[in-house]
């Protein structure tokens, strides 16, 4: 399951992810970087888009990628992409967005937590990393569900990941005890650009207001979009790779085998456990379990 699919654009010479040298150094070291991304006018447009589609994002936690109705999911994507794509072009070094939406947490006294995880793979593991972009529309902290990260964890378990893949992470408590968790409060207008291999989590929203975040998945311009399907045959977990079009996630139900796309092959799933003892604490304030 290696190599670019037929018809992919030629590989670029770019080896960096972020245009700004300081942000790129943070990204290379820690697996993420915080950047100034959105102007007040862009934030207003995203707030309006969220208000229009808020009914699709109800419950303790909701993500646009999980909206069952393909037409509604596509409408959210196009509304958010219209704002995020030009903004991301200012900070990313040769990337294109393939799915945009919202990640929303309603106020609640219990629930809404996102456990520690790596994102699924959107591009081939050997190339420049696909990134997740997380841009809150409100100021975020541990009270309303900011991100909690494990800096440096993007260097372990770097192979393909599918919906339902075996987690490579230990408990939040294990990383907290090792001083490896970092809470990431942010201001509206800022964004975190995160290597999709990075371990991250977020607590529930214990504030009195909705926490809405504009999100994007972006892949290197020189790479085709990938999707990996996991199945278990005779007790062996297998990953089946597909080259798919950029609009694939506008309608595909996560976890199901693709009905379209070019099949690239199948291989046993490999999971390299990200043990807290193998990671060195990074500069910056550590945090307890949220």
Q: Flag whether pLDDT at 47 surpasses 90.
A: yes
Q: Flag whether pLDDT at 283 surpasses 80.
A: no
Write down the domain spans for the chain.
21-278
Specify the higher pLDDT residue, 140 or 9: 140
Q: What is the mean pLDDT of residues 220-232?
A: 97
Task: Give the pLDDT confidence score for residue 3 in this predicted structure.
Answer: 37
Q: What is the mean pLDDT of residues 244-255?
A: 96
DSSP string, 87-147: HHHTTBSSEEEEEEEEEEE---SS---EEEEPPPPSS-TTSSPPEEEEEESS-B-TTTT-E
| pLDDT band, residue 290 (cuts 50/70/90) | low
CATH of domain 21-278: 2.60.120.620
Q: What is the mean pLDDT of residues 120-126?
A: 95
Q: Flag whether pLDDT at 289 surpasses 70.
A: no
Task: Give the pLDDT confidence score for residue 35 in this predicted structure.
Answer: 98
| pLDDT band, residue 232 (cuts 50/70/90) | very high
The per-residue pLDDT of the chain, averaged, comes to: 93
Q: Flag whether pLDDT at 94 surpasses 50.
A: yes
Task: Give the pLDDT confidence score for residue 287 in this predicted structure.
Answer: 76
Q: Flag whether pLDDT at 80 surpasses 70.
A: yes
Specify the higher pLDDT residue, 3 or 220: 220
| pLDDT band, residue 9 (cuts 50/70/90) | very low
Cα separation, 243 vs 220, in Å, equals 14
Task: Give the pLDDT confidence score for residue 7 in this predicted structure.
Answer: 38
Structure tokens given for 210: 């909705």
Q: What is the mean pLDDT of residues 219-243?
A: 97
Q: Flag whether pLDDT at 286 surpasses 80.
A: no
| pLDDT band, residue 11 (cuts 50/70/90) | very low
In whole angstroms, how far apart are CA 132 and each of 59, 107, 195, 197, 201? Answer: 22, 24, 7, 10, 13
Q: Parallel, antiparallel, or unpaired: how do β-strands 182-184 and 236-244 relate?
A: unpaired
Q: Flag whether pLDDT at 217 surpasses 90.
A: yes
Q: Using one digit for the tens of pLDDT, what is the confidence trace for 181-193?
A: 999 999 999 999 9
User: pLDDT exceeding 90 applies to what percent of the chain?
Assistant: 89
Cβ–Cβ under 8 Å, residues 90 and 97: no
């Amino acid at each position: 399951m290696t190599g670019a699919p037929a018809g992919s654009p030629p590989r670029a010479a770019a080896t960096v992810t972020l245009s700004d040298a300081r942000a790129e150094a943070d990204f290379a070291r820690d697996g993420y970087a915080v950047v100034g991304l959105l102007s007040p006018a862009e934030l207003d447009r995203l707030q309006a888009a969220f208000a229009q589609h808020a009914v699709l994002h109800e419950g303790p936690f909701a993500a646009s990628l999980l909206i069952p109705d393909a037409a509604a999911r596509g409408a959210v994507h196009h509304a958010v992409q219209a704002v995020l794509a030009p903004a991301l072009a200012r900070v990313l070094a040769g990337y294109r967005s393939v799915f945009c939406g919202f990640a929303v947490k309603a106020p609640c006294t219990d629930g809404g937590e996102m456990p520690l995880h790596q994102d699924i793979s959107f591009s081939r593991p050997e190339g420049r990393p696909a990134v997740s972009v997380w841009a809150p529309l409100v100021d975020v902290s541990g009270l309303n569900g900011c991100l909690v990260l494990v800096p440096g964890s993007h260097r372990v378990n770097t192979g393909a990941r599918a919906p339902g893949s075996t987690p490579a992470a230990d408990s939040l408590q294990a990383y907290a005890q090792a001083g490896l968790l970092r809470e990431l409060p942010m201001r509206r207008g800022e964004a975190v650009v995160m290597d999709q291999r990075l371990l991250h989590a977020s607590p529930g929203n214990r504030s009195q207001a909705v926490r809405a975040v504009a999100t994007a998945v972006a892949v290197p311009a020189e790479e085709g979009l990938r999707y990996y399907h996991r199945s278990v045959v005779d007790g062996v977990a297998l990953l089946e790779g597909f080259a798919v079009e950029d609009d694939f996630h506008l309608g595909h139900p996560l976890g199901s085998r693709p009905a379209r796309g070019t099949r690239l092959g199948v291989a046993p799933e490999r999971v390299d456990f990200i043990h807290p003892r193998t990671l060195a604490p990074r500069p910056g304030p550590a945090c307890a379990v949220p």
